[in-house]
Amino acid sequence: MLYRKYRPQNFSEIVGQEHVVKTLQGALESGRVGHAYLFTGSRGTGKTSLARIFAKALNCADFSKMRESNFAEKSSVRRSLGEGGLPEPCNQCDSCLAASQGNLLDLIEIDAASNRGIDEIRNLKDSALVAAPSGGFKVFIIDEVHMLTKDAFNALLKILEEPPSHVVFILATTEPHKILPTVLSRVQRFDFKRLNQGQISGKLGMMARKEGIKINEEALKTIAMSADGALRDAEVALSKIQACLPVGEASTDSTKAISVDEVNEMLGLVSYRYYPEFVSCLLGNDKTGALDLIQKIYLSGADLENFTGHLVEYMRKILMAKINPVVLASISGINDEETKSILALGQNTDGQKLIRIIVSFSNARNEIKHSPVPQLPLELAVIELCGT
């Protein structure tokens, strides 16, 4: 899978989380490393990858030299400093190589979704009391930490509050609201941002070039948009597209680039052209046309939940264009043709009707997964908006 092959190995390779990276690098440079961190954010935003890089840097031989010299003789270890003079793992010492290969003894990763009980946390506490094999830091990464039981959280509290000096905890979660306040008060929290379309398509473009996948820019933007801010989802989608390509055929200048329509077909996405057409039917009270489009999209095998989510986002852009056209400039991933279409719809549409459409289809999207007939919630929303 491409997301594993191109997993970041340095701080500079992390996409879209510069605010977190800079703080962690500052802690490494100054020697003020905290004993417990909490990485929160939606899926696929780089929480685990950055935790592994931070663990690698903590045990990097160059960082160890800086620590031993009390961070006074930094000039002797400039090899490990990246852009701006901030620390990067050297990726050359034994510790860095072991971390990159996933067999660093100083790094212990725990999946709290399957190891959520008090016994597992007691074992973790026992392990934390033992010094790191390398003599450096022993780093515990607890993924999906919100899945721990209440008793397990309580067992974790004491070791989080007063851990041995050689131990660093990195907790990662997509649902920080489920973590006990007593745990939150003992960690440094970092919130990971959802990536925008430009950041995702830029990373996908780099991967496509290295893999010899010839794909046009609009197709990459379509993949990025479908990922909903999760870089890993986009990388998995690119892997799926790569799997559909003929084996053993190297791309050349004459090779036809993968188009948007081909991406939509491979990934089961709905073509962009359906959105303005569907919205025009709703605004014109063309109930028959809207219902026909829903049936056409359903029969094409596209994901109706995905279609509805993007439809709501499209309607939001129209509403923003009506309130303040300048706002469109701040929304990434909009081309000139789409901008003109959205501006025209925004100027000629009643704001209250736009709000009713957004609310109706937001509710319909939530009902699709529970409906015995997938297209029924959308059809009912159309009938409600356009009248019987």
Q: What distance lies between CA 101 and its chain's CA centroid?
A: 23
Q: How far apart, in whole angstroms, are the C-alpha atoms of residue 140 and residue 155?
A: 15
Angle between helices 376-386 and 351-368 (to 10 degrees): 160
Give 148's strand partners. none
Phi then psi for residue 193, to 5 deg, are -80, 150
Phi then psi for residue 377, to 5 deg, are -60, -35
Residue appearing with tokens 């609201």: 177
pLDDT, tens only, 93-109:
888 888 888 888 889 89
Domain ranges of the chain: 2-191, 197-267, 274-386
Q: What's the pLDDT at 252?
A: 55
Give 214's strand partners. none
Q: What's the pLDDT at 37?
A: 94
Q: What's the pLDDT at 254?
A: 57
Q: Is the pLDDT higher at 338 or at 362?
A: 362
Q: How far apart, in whole angstroms, are the C-alpha atoms of residue 342 and residue 318?
A: 5
How far is CA 342 from each of CA 72, 284, 320, rounded to the nearest angstrom?
A: 58, 16, 9
Does an H or E element contain 191, and which?
Answer: strand 188-191
Residue 255 has pLDDT above 70, yes or no: no
Residue 183 has pLDDT above 80, yes or no: yes
Q: Which two tokens stand for residue 181?
A: 């306040």
Q: What's the pLDDT at 66?
A: 66
Residue 74 has pLDDT above 60, yes or no: no
Contact 260, 222 (CB under 8 A): yes
pLDDT, tens only, 280-316:
899 888 999 999 999 998 888 888 888 898 899 888 8
Nearest by Cα to 357 from 267, 303, 290: 290
Decide which of 3.40.190.10, 2.40.50.100, 1.20.272.10, 3.40.50.1100 is the CATH code for 274-386.
Answer: 1.20.272.10
Q: What's the pLDDT at 206?
A: 92
Fold classification of 197-267 is: Helicase, Ruva Protein; domain 3 (1.10.8)
Residue appearing with tokens 């596209």: 302
Full-model pTM: 0.81
Q: What's the pLDDT at 336?
A: 60
Q: What's the pLDDT at 79?
A: 44
- The secondary structure of residue 87, as a DSSP letter, is B
E strands, 56-150, in order: 107-111, 138-143
Tell me which CATH code domain 2-191 carries: 3.40.50.300
Give the range among 40-44, 171-175, 255-259, 383-387 with minimum mean pLDDT: 255-259
Contact 161, 186 (CB under 8 A): yes
Q: How far apart, in whole angstroms, are the C-alpha atoms of residue 270 and residue 274?
A: 7
Q: Is the pLDDT higher at 235 or at 273?
A: 235
Rg (CA), the chain: 25
pLDDT, tens only, 126-163:
888 888 777 788 899 999 999 988 888 888 888 888 88
Q: What's the pLDDT at 76?
A: 45
Q: How many CB atoms lie within 10 A of CB 52?
A: 23
Confidence of residue 78 (pLDDT cuts 50, 70, 90): very low
Q: Which two tokens stand for residue 372?
A: 């015995």
Q: How far apart, in whole angstroms, are the C-alpha atoms of residue 348 and residue 232?
A: 39
Residue 57 has pLDDT above 50, yes or no: yes
pLDDT, tens only, 197-227:
888 989 999 999 998 888 888 888 888 888 8
Residue appearing with tokens 């500052």: 26
